[in-house]
Amino acid sequence: MTASDIEQQLAAAVSTERLLETNAAIAQWPRHSGTAEERAAFAYVQAKLDEYGLRTTLLEHPALISYPLESSLAVLDGDGNVLAEYTTLGTAYSAGTDGLVAPLVDVGFGTPDELAAQETAGKILLINGLATPTAVYAAEQAGAAGQIFINDDHLHYMIVSSIWGTPTPESAPRIPTTPSLSVVEADGHELRARVQAGPVQVRLRSRVFMEWQTTPILVGELDGRHSDEFVLFSGHLDSWEVGAMDNGSANATMMEVGRLLAAHRDGLYRGLRLIFWSGHSHGRYSGSTWYVDNHWEELYDRCVAHVNVDSTGARGATFYASFPANLELGPFAEAVVNAHTGQESRARRMSRAGDMSFNGVGIPALFMSLSQVPFSDTDTDYVSLAFGKLIGGKMPWWWHTSEDTMDKVDGDVLRLDTQIYVSTLWRLCHTPLLPMDFRPVVTDLQLTLKELADAAGAHLDLSRAMDRASVLAEAVETLAEQCAAA
C-alpha cells in the first residue's frame, strides 16, 4: 500500500460522529485560563490521548491571566444625572475603574491622523472596530483616559495588552493603564450622533480580573520510526465562555488527527507532537511563549514545522481561498487544500498571532484558522470589514462571544477541515524529504532588498546583500531540482 493510499484511508476514516462528540464534551466547560473548569477539560483530553496511544505529559507554569468581569457605560448631564445607559463588555488586560467620568471624543478608526486632529488628552475615545492592543496603545500614547470600541451587532471578547506572553520586568510598563469597553454597532452610532450634536460626558465603570495563575500545557507525542525530528501540531484549549468553535472544534480536530496517526505510527518517519495551550485568550499566548522559552534548543534542533489549528467546522465556513503559511510551505499547503476542497487556494504571509510564538526559532509554520465564512459586499460593519480586507473571508459573528455554542458547529465542515489537517500532518510526518520549496522565500527576500535599495538610493549601498541573495537564489534552485529528482 502506497503512502497516498494510506493518506486516503486516513482521510476517509475521519469520523464526524466522534468529532462532534469530542467537541460537545469539551464545550460543556467554560474554559477561562487557570480555572477548575479548564483543568477538567485538560483532564478529559489527556485521558482520550492516553486511550489513543499517545505519550502524554501535563506541564504547569505561572502566567498573568486576565479577563473582564463586569462593566457599564452611562451618558451624564451637566449635573451628573444619567441620560442613557448602554450594554457593554470589558476587555482583558485593561485597567479597572469604579467610575471614570470624562468627555467623549469620536476618533473614527483611531489612525494617527485622526488622533492628532482631536484633543484627546484626558478624554474617553470612541473608536471603530474591535478592541485591539494596537488601538489601545495608540490611544494611551495620545493621552486618552479610556476607550469605547464599536463592534458589530455582537459584543466580542478581546485582550488589549500589546505584550506577547506573560509580561517581563522590561515589558510590564506596556500593560494598559486605561479602561476599555466595547458596545454594539447601533449603540456606537447613537453615541457618535450625540457627540456630533454637542459635548458629551460619559461615565465608564469596569472590573477586570488580573492575577497570577498556574496554567497547564498538555503534550501528546508519537515517535518517528527513523528520525527524532517532529512536527508540532498545536491549538489552544482555553476559551471565551464555552467556546464550542473557538476552540473546542479545533481541539476535536487535533484529537482525531492524533487518534488516526497513532493507528498508523509505523508509517511515521518523524514524530508528531500535539500541544494544547492555556493562556491563549487570557494571557496573550502565555502558554506557547513559556514553552518556547523553556524548550528553545530542543525546538531549534528537532522541530521541522509548526501546524496550528483554530476554529474549525464553523457553520457556513465554505471559504478556503486564503490561508496563512510561511512561504516555503505555501505550495505544499495549497496542494493539500486544493485537493480536498476543489478551491484555488492561495497561501498568504503568516502573521504573528494565534500562538505563533516560534518565529524566532525559525520553525516554518502553516495554518491557523482554515475555513472562513465568505465575505460579502453587504458586510459593512467594522468587524467584518477588518477581516474581509485582511483575508477575504471572515470569522463568523459568534466568534469571541457568549453564543459560541455547539449549534454553531457544522459536522460536515468540521470533517472536511479535519481531513485537510490529517493529510497535512500525515505528509509532513511520513515523507523523509520535507515538502518545502525555498524559492519563494528567496524571491521575496530579493524583492524586499530591491525595495529597500530603491528607497535608500545613494544613502545605503545594498549591492553586496543583493549579490549574495542572487547566489542564494541559484543554490535553492539547485536544491529544488535535486528534491524533484529524489
449-470 per-position pLDDT tens digit: 999 999 999 999 999 999 999 9
Q: Which of these three, 409, 430, 451, is where a domain ends?
A: 430
Residue 474: what pLDDT? Answer: 96
Same domain as 30, residue 134: no
Same domain as 196, residue 96: yes
Q: Is 458 left (phi over 0), alpha (psi -120 to 50) or beta?
A: alpha
Same domain as 402, residue 290: yes
Same domain as 73, residue 197: yes
Residue 292 has pLDDT above 80, yes or no: yes
Residue 392: what pLDDT? Answer: 72
Burial of 358 (0-12, 13-18, 19+ CB in 10 A): buried
C-alpha cell at 240: 471565551
Question: Length of the chain, please?
Answer: 486
CATH number at residue 372: 3.40.630.10
Same domain as 114, residue 168: yes
Residue 292 CB contacts under 8 Å (≥ 6 apart), including other chains? 299, 357, 358, 360, 361
What average pLDDT does range 112-133 have in this prediction? 96
Residue 313: what pLDDT? Answer: 98
What average pLDDT does range 421-442 have in this prediction? 96
C-alpha cell at 480: 529544488
Same domain as 317, residue 191: no
Residue 280 CB contacts under 8 Å (≥ 6 apart), including other chains? 33, 236, 238, 247, 286, 287, 288, 354, 355
User: How far does Cα 21 stand from its chain's mean position?
Assistant: 24
What average pLDDT does range 393-406 have in this prediction? 94
What average pLDDT does range 306-311 have in this prediction? 98
CATH number at residue 90: 3.50.30.30
Residue 382: what pLDDT? Answer: 66
pLDDT band at 388 (very low <50, low <70, confident <90, very high): low
Residue 485: what pLDDT? Answer: 87
Angle (CA) 151 139 197, round 5°:
65
DSSP-assigned letters across all residues of 55-74: EEEEEEEEEEEEEEEEEEEE
Residue 208: what pLDDT? Answer: 98
What average pLDDT does range 366-376 have in this prediction? 90
What average pLDDT does range 185-202 have in this prediction? 97
Residue 376: what pLDDT? Answer: 76
pLDDT band at 486 (very low <50, low <70, confident <90, very high): confident
Residue 350: what pLDDT? Answer: 84
pLDDT band at 349 (very low <50, low <70, confident <90, very high): confident
Residue 255 has pLDDT above 90, yes or no: yes
C-alpha cell at 256: 482525531
Residue 353: what pLDDT? Answer: 86
Same domain as 216, residue 201: no
Same domain as 461, residue 409: no
- For residue 324, the enclosing domain spans 3-65+212-430
What average pLDDT does range 432-440 have in this prediction? 94
- C-alpha distances in Å from residue 359, one per residue of 300, 321, 325, 364: 11, 24, 12, 8
Q: Quote the CA–CA distance of 469 and 467 in Å, as a whole number.
A: 5
pLDDT band at 386 (very low <50, low <70, confident <90, very high): low
Residue 335: what pLDDT? Answer: 95
Q: Which of these three, 153, 178, 208, is where a domain ends?
A: 208
Q: Which of these three, 165, 193, 208, is where a domain ends?
A: 208
Residue 387: what pLDDT? Answer: 62
pLDDT band at 346 (very low <50, low <70, confident <90, very high): confident
Residue 352: what pLDDT? Answer: 84
Residue 42: what pLDDT? Answer: 99
Same domain as 36, residue 118: no
pLDDT band at 201 (very low <50, low <70, confident <90, very high): very high
C-alpha cell at 108: 473614527
* Helix or strand holding residue 7 (H, E): helix 3-12
Residue 380: what pLDDT? Answer: 66
Q: Indicate the number of domains in the chain.
A: 3
Q: What percent of the chain has pLDDT over 70?
A: 97
Same domain as 375, residue 354: yes
Lowest mean pLDDT of 95-99, 151-155, 387-391, name the range.
387-391
Same domain as 413, residue 456: no
Same domain as 385, residue 265: yes
